Amino acid sequence: MLGSASNVSGARRGPRTVPPPSRGAGGAESEARVILAWQIGVGAVWLAVWEIVGGATGSIWISRPSLIFAQLLRWARGDLYIHVATTLTEVVVGLLIGAAGGILAGLWFGRSPLLAGVMRPIIVAFYSVPLIALTPLFIMFFGLDMEPKIILVTIVVFFLLFFNTFAGAQEVDADLIAAVDLMGSSTRERFQKVIAPACVAWIIGGVKVALPYALVAATTGEMLAARRGLGFLLSDAASQFDMTALYAALVLLMLLGLAVSEAAAWLERHMLRWRHAAG
């Protein structure tokens, strides 16, 4: 009787549902390997088609991957490292200076409505000027060395970080500020404990956006007037109608852009671990 009663009660409850297995870290790694394999396969097919078409047509305008690779090897045996180091130096120095200034100004203006209202037309006016138009001015003032390109990168990064940090400072929860004020906090403690931590996600988002733009600004300045840098290699090849060297310079910029993108993604994962853990 007990056995039949338990069977009846089990029948009333219906079949037990088994939760689907979670993908976990192993599933994520397997998916990443599949995506990587597809990326390599698509890239290999594209290069093979390009090589075949370039060899069949013999056109100097499309070149061939084998010729581009040979050009990269010739540069690597020469002074390629000088050009790469020049562009990276301009990006890193301009990024550090522009980020520091943009973050400080964004925090200051974001928590000072009167100052923000006074300075807003000036900032918008400067931001509205195309940066490419300022490059000749910087070259006239500072010459053909790295200084004009660093200033150009600094300005680009400054505005991107300023607007992001400014928006983050304005979005700080007023209840949190009121709570720490009730505890008798000073202005410095309020900034360190509430305002700055609340703006971290905004700042990291600004840095992630600013990194590729910093590379674009440095390369643009080098293309206009420079003696070294990847932008100089690009403009020099274009002036000589050397399509193989032009494609080789573009490949270098693409690889550097991928490295910058991965650095930005790593920075976001490292600084915002709590967001990824919660997701």
153 within 8 A of 214, measured Cβ to Cβ: yes
Question: Is 14 a residue whose pLDDT tops 90?
Answer: no
The whole-angstrom separation of Cα 175 and Cα 45 is 57
Q: How far is CA 194 from CA 108, 204, 206, 262, in A?
A: 14, 17, 19, 30
The whole-angstrom separation of Cα 72 and Cα 188 is 53
pTM score, two decimals? 0.78
Question: Is 252 a residue whose pLDDT tops 90?
Answer: yes
255 within 8 A of 189, measured Cβ to Cβ: no
How much is the average pLDDT of 104-133? Answer: 84
249 within 8 A of 233, measured Cβ to Cβ: yes
Maximum Cα interatomic distance, the chain, rounded to a whole number of Å = 100
Q: What is the pLDDT of residues 86-103, one digit of tens each?
A: 999 999 999 999 999 999
Question: The tokens of 32 are what?
Answer: 């990443």
CA angle 51, 259, 103 (to 5 degrees): 145
Per-residue confidence (pLDDT) for residue 131, from 0 to 100: 77
CA angle 74, 75, 76 (to 5 degrees): 90
Least confident of 122-126, 247-251, 275-279: 275-279
Sign of CA pseudo-dihedral 251, 255, 256, 258:
positive
pLDDT bucket at 27, cuts 50 / 70 / 90: low
Least confident of 22-36, 126-140, 208-222: 22-36
Domain 70-278 matching CATH 3.90.1530.10: the answer reads no
Contacts for 244-247: CB closer than 8 Å, 24+ residues apart: 244/60, 244/63, 244/67, 244/68, 244/71, 245/71, 247/63, 247/68
How confident is the prediction for the chain on average, in pLDDT?
Answer: 82
